[in-house]
Structure 1
Amino acid sequence: MSTPYSFIVLTYNEELHLPRFLQSIAELNAPVFIVDSGSTDTTIKIGEEFGATFLYNPFKNHPTQWDFALKNCSVQTPWVICLDADQVVTPELKQHLINFKDEEHTATNGFYFNRKNFFKGRWIKHGGYYPFYLLKMFRFGIGYSDTTEKMDHRFVVPGKTEIWKDGHLLEENLKENNISFWIAKHNRYSDLVAEQEVERMRSVITLAEKPGFWGSPNQRKAWYKQRWQKLPRYVRPMLYFIQRMVFQLGILDGRTGVIFHFLQGFWFRLIVDIKMDEILKQKNDTK
């Protein structure tokens, strides 16, 4: 019997991660679509060996790439699961998918998966990083990519959603074990985030999700983001770092975890604030 879902994954030179990802879902025998943005390694060869269908699209940012994928992949199943190449489906989550029946969830349009994030081989368990729910499975044609975002992509699903708290996605970007790669990557990301926050300051764009502390995981993230934007620049990175380290017990993640929380929770946010000031100054000078 055919599965009620298909997988979509984005790739660019993912020969390090793609075999691990595809092997974790091979038992499900579900259609796999890979949207590649010009890989020069063995990514395409690996995907073809697993029977994946490839599409090509130049990469602009994650939200627009996912938008392209959802509009151009010839998905024939009622559900779609959108994952990243550096993620792995655990046996417990795979069992959820093996047992999944569309007719048992007629009132539901989407599912949140629980993610475990790893940095340099260590699970980041504290600092607000676990549990961490990502909307990854939804009815095809109903869920869509939030293209108001420039970097922090998320999917939007109208109607009822459910959370699978047990069973996990394991996310570990092995390229980031090289700290120079991590810094260069997040330096590029900070450009996009700074541009986006300036646009939100000027009311050029609005949040796609209705903010709500007691709402879905995505609505809660939108609520926090709304308040983040009201905090004074340069002060908020330190407040956020203290929150993660003290109130969300990030200190318990050990030396590697503390390095991660500092880089992702303070350094990255500080760089964004600095770049926001540069953008605002440039716009004022132009005027």
Structure 2
Amino acid sequence: MPSITVQILTYNEEQHIERAINSVKSFASQVVLIDSYSTDKTVELAESMGAIVLQNKWHNNYARQLNWGLDNAPITGEWVMRLDADEYVTPELAEEIKNKINHIEANINGIYMRRRIHFAGKWMKHGATYPMWMLRLWRKDYGKCENRWMDEHIVLSTGETIRFDNDFVDDNLNSLTWWTTKHNHYATREAADLLNHKYKFMASDTRDDEDKEQAMFKRWLKENIYTKTPLFVRPFFYFFYRYIIRLGFLDGWRGLQWNFLQGLWYRFLVDAKIYEVESKIKDAKDKCLAVETVVIAEWGLKPPRAN
């Protein structure tokens, strides 16, 4: 079987890391952690399970950290798989990888897999949440992560892609307080991306318009339709679409929490941050420069392509 390196980014993930590593043991020839100087037992646990751990300072940019790992880790696998610390591979997907990876045609350089999201212990099957197809396995040296603040994906330099049939699972075990704090940070980065889409104050990576994969289609909808809908109106439309039209209510009370928090509260918070910035810069002569100053000086976000 071709060798596979699984790369995981971590910061204080002692609650998840053993589950993640155990889920890939049956097919991974190597597990590499790119750790942002965890202060808990993440590194100790990972090393005890045979993982290689490199540490690199976090700069508010997932893509930069992942690409740093691709460039600096001693990767030995012919294939590389990206896995978040709070994710795990289902036994069915692990078996599929083992059975199929040896028979991939030479022109195939990337493999899409379905992501399941669990929220408060329940699988969110409705509300346009499942399935989400993501490119998570690619031939070494053929894939990089887009340099964006949010909504970043793996991009292939060349080659075709295929889809596997089974799922990996996103199941964070932290508290709701932790979740809302994390999404507050996400909202800042999302607002920066949307402001950049409008004012074009920094260069960031974009995908080819010919790419019709699901994630790219959703980005197209966001950048060409969602962004043209008025602030503070669009989160309510989005919630209605997910919860009513796409049947999010079928996931019960947890489905209501998930769609309200992730589909309405989070999106409203993003709009509030955008509104705050645009209120500050309304009298600025050079609005692009003014927005860039807020994003870098006040929000502390480095440019997506910064070294």
What does residue 256 of structure 1 align with?
A: 254
Q: Tell whether 2:77 aligns with 1:77.
A: yes
| 2:21 maps to amino acid | L
What does residue 208 of structure 2 align with?
A: 210
How far did 1:96 drift? 1.4
Contact 1:32 1:53 survives alignment (8 Å): yes
- Pick from 239, 247, 252 the counterpart of residue 237 of structure 2: 239
| 1:257 maps to amino acid | G
- TM-score, structure 1 as length reference: 0.92
Q: List alignment gaps of at least 5 residues for structure 1.
A: none
How far apart in 1 are the matches of 2:222 and 2:204? 11
| 1:220 maps to amino acid | F
* Further displaced range: 151-160 or 119-128: 151-160
- Pick from 205, 221, 225 the counterpart of residue 224 of structure 1: 221
Closer, same or farther in 2 for the Cα pair 1:41/1:160, shift >3 Å?
A: same
Q: Tell whether 2:190 aligns with 1:193.
A: yes
Contact 2:20 2:87 survives alignment (8 Å): yes
Partner SS state of residue 114, structure 1 = strand
How far apart in 2 are the matches of 1:13 and 1:101? 32
Q: Tell whether 2:31 aligns with 1:32.
A: yes
What does residue 133 of structure 2 align with?
A: 133
Superposed, 1:7-18 pairs within 5 Å as 7-18=6-17
Runs of 4+ more than 6 Å apart = none
* Further displaced range: 15-24 or 228-237: 228-237
What does residue 174 of structure 1 align with?
A: 173
What does residue 45 of structure 1 align with?
A: 44
Percentage identity across paired residues of the two chains: 34
| 1:114 maps to amino acid | R
Partner SS state of residue 216, structure 2 = helix
Partner SS state of residue 105, structure 1 = coil
Contact 1:109 1:142 survives alignment (8 Å): yes
Closer, same or farther in 2 for the Cα pair 1:69/1:206, shift >3 Å?
A: closer
How far did 1:206 drift? 5.8
How far apart in 2 are the matches of 1:29 and 1:190? 34
How far apart in 1 are the matches of 2:187 and 2:234? 15
Contact 2:35 2:55 survives alignment (8 Å): yes
Give CA-to-partner distance per residue, 1:100-133, whole Å, 9 cap, x none.
3455321111111111100100111101111111
How far did 1:281 drift? 2.2
Closer, same or farther in 2 for the Cα pair 1:210/1:236, shift >3 Å?
A: farther
How many residues are treated as equivalent by the alignment? 281
Give the root-mean-square deviation of aligned CA atoms: 1.7
How far apart in 1 are the matches of 2:17 and 2:125? 24
| 2:67 maps to amino acid | D
Contact 2:116 2:132 survives alignment (8 Å): yes
What does residue 294 of structure 2 align with?
A: none
- Pick from 266, 271, 278 the counterpart of residue 276 of structure 2: 278
- TM-score, structure 2 as length reference: 0.87
| 2:57 maps to amino acid | P
| 2:280 maps to amino acid | Q
How far did 1:91 drift? 1.1
Give CA-to-partner distance per residue, 1:142-162, whole Å, 9 cap, x none.
111100x20333211243111
What does residue 162 of structure 1 align with?
A: 162
